[in-house]
């Protein structure tokens, strides 16, 4: 894997943020990792960096249940700014929720590539990056 990506973790769980960052780094998958505790912080970052492709993430790992702005609310706002973004961003909804309603709701949002139930295994992270490399990201 010769291309490292900018990862963005949007999750209010500090322990999860720490462990997923450590896993991504151990696999040498990321050029940069940024993290936000809620969707509003992440959205504001995206808006502030609309035309800065180097700053924007390639991959977003988005939790559902967060304070202030949850994952689904983030997606509602992301869809509005997506046409203004200068690069393709791949979003994975990552949650501990096994609620079928959450999974189905996520699947109906075309901007969400997949729904992953926590914890994310190393093999899944590698597969995400390999898929993007195959798509000639």
User: Which CATH number fits the domain that encloses residue 32?
Assistant: 3.40.50.2300
Kindly state whether residue 25 falls inside one of the protein's structural domains: yes
Instruction: Count how many domains the chain has.
Output: 1
Kindly state whether residue 131 falls inside one of the protein's structural domains: no
How much is the pTM?
0.95
Q: In the predicted model, is pLDDT for residue 2 greater than 90? A: no
Kindly state whether residue 108 falls inside one of the protein's structural domains: yes
CB 93 within 8 A of CB 118: no
- Model confidence at 135, in pLDDT bands (50, 70, 90)? confident
CB atoms within 10 A of CB 123: 9
- Which residues have a Cβ under 8 Å from the Cβ of 135 and sit 6 or more positions away? none
Phi/psi of residue 114, nearest 5 degrees: -165, 160
Kindly state whether residue 126 falls inside one of the protein's structural domains: no
Structural domain of 108: 5-120
């Amino acid at each position: 894997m010769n291309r490292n990506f900018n990862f963005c973790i949007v999750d209010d769980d500090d322990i999860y943020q720490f462990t997923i960052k450590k896993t991504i780094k151990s696999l040498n998958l990321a050029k940069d990792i940024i993290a936000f505790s809620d969707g509003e912080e992440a959205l504001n970052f995206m808006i502030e960096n609309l035309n800065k492709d180097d700053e924007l993430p390639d991959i977003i790992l988005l939790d559902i249940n967060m304070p202030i702005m949850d994952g689904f609310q983030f997606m509602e706002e992301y869809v509005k700014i997506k046409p203004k973004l200068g690069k393709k961003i791949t979003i994975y909804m990552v949650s501990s929720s096994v609620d079928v309603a959450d999974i189905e709701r996520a699947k109906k949002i075309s901007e969400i590539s997949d729904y992953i139930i926590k914890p994310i295994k190393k093999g899944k992270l590698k597969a995400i990056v390999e898929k993007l490399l195959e798509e000639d990201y």
